[in-house]
Structure 1
Amino acid sequence: MTLPGVILAGGLATRMGGGDKGLRDLGGKPILGHVIDRLAPQANPVALNANGDPARFADWGLPVLPDTIEGFAGPLAGVLAGLDWAAGQGAEAIVTVAADTPFFPTDLVARLQAARVQTGQPIALAASPDAGRKSGLGRHPTFGLWPVALRDDLRAALGGGLRKVVLWTDRHGCATALFEEPGPDPFFNVNTPDDLTAARARLEKAQA
């Protein structure tokens, strides 16, 4: 089943010095371009969750979905914007990815769907091994599969001040799609100028 995809780009990028992280150059193309290239074969249609003037993303021709919760309420606000958009498309769920993570898996959506089917849970999040956590897993809350049926519950939770993704997902039941392949972290995200330098080096090595 093909699901709509939503790229989450609604943050303030404070550690990058502000602006849109997704518009920073990575190998001659904005980071967002790499993200779209990875998501488009896995999800259809694709939209972008971002605040401010949508014209800055016009080159991609994607619907731009602003947060409907004021005050930069975090990733869940972007998920809600995506769910409201998908409801208008007649979709039953969406998948989300982060706009600053250019190397995420090319089978992300298929594995999120499989995790949800295998467990019977309504939500699925991607995860990687993390020895520093009690569970041994580090979940990636911007990489998930979200049912449209829970959008009003999410709206109420955000209106009540909830911001932490896993508090809401675990309340409803959340499957985990584990990615533990050897090699560089596919969920490496570009938060700082040093991260951008590392991403450029990684891309150059992959293209060599």
Structure 2
Amino acid sequence: MQTPMGVILAGGQATRMGGGDKGLLRLGDTTLLSRVVARLSPQVGDMALNANGDPARFSDYGLPVLPDSIDGFPGPLAGVLAGLDWAAEQGAETIVTVAADTPFFPTDLVTHLCKMADGMAHPLVLAATPRGTEKTKSMSRSGLIRHPTFGLWPVALRDDLRAALGDGISKVVIWTEKHGGREAVFPTDAGDPFFNVNTPEDLATAEAMI
């Protein structure tokens, strides 16, 4: 498998932070987004940022800014689709997505996702952690907690995803399970590697973590 492209998902509305761009919040001596860029860049080929609104606010990062192609903020799958369309234009086969508000995700994220995709005709793998981590996002049948904004996605299924979004499907795992998606499990011995900043209290916790 060729090295995936990287897409940072920052298209949410950040309602629990009072709106605005969570990725531009300061964390230590830099921004959340800068920490995510630095963590992802060694793991992927080219990178892009999925965000809506005026792209000029991200000009300092030097990344292509990809707006959702589906109106109404339908969720992270719209950002995945924007990333897949961009990657298709670059001739790429896959993308790996990460969230712009999750600064401590694994440094071996891409390696582990790709390893779990071995043998799949269409590599489709979500990150997961064992049950018991603090923030339950999406529980799988096997009792794992899935982190649906962290995944490996095949460009070959972008039109299928577009059709699914057009039919009103917005929940990530509904679509991934339809295509036999797998889970790559990451350890939580040192804490939840997918801890994300949703509230001012979370930001204070992240400050303590660094």
TM-score (norm 1): 0.94
Distance 2:118 2:142 in 1: 22
Structure-2 residue corresponding to 1:140: 147
Query: What is the deviation of 1:23?
Result: 0.4
Structure-1 residue corresponding to 2:55: 54
One of 152, 159, 163 as aligned partner of 2:166: 159
Distance 1:164 1:3 in 2: 23
1:195 is aligned to 2:202: yes
Which residue type is aligned with residue 170 of structure 1? E
Kindly tell me the number of residue pairs found equivalent between the two proteins. 203
Query: What is the deviation of 1:122?
Result: 2.8
Structure-2 residue corresponding to 1:206: none
Gaps of 5+ in 1: 204-208
Higher helix share: 1
Structure-2 residue corresponding to 1:175: 182
Distance 1:106 1:124 in 2: 17
Give 1:29-178 correspondences, 5 Å limit: 29-117=30-118, 122-131=123-132, 133=139, 135-178=142-185
Structure-1 residue corresponding to 2:23: 22
SS at the partner of 1:117?
coil
TM-score (norm 2): 0.93
SS at the partner of 2:43?
coil
The sequence identity of aligned pairs, in percent, is 67
Gaps of 5+ in 2: none
CA RMSD of aligned residues (A): 1.3
Query: What is the deviation of 1:136?
Result: 2.0
Alpha-carbon distance change, 191 to 163 in structure 1, aligned in 2, over 3 angstroms? same
SS at the partner of 1:189?
coil
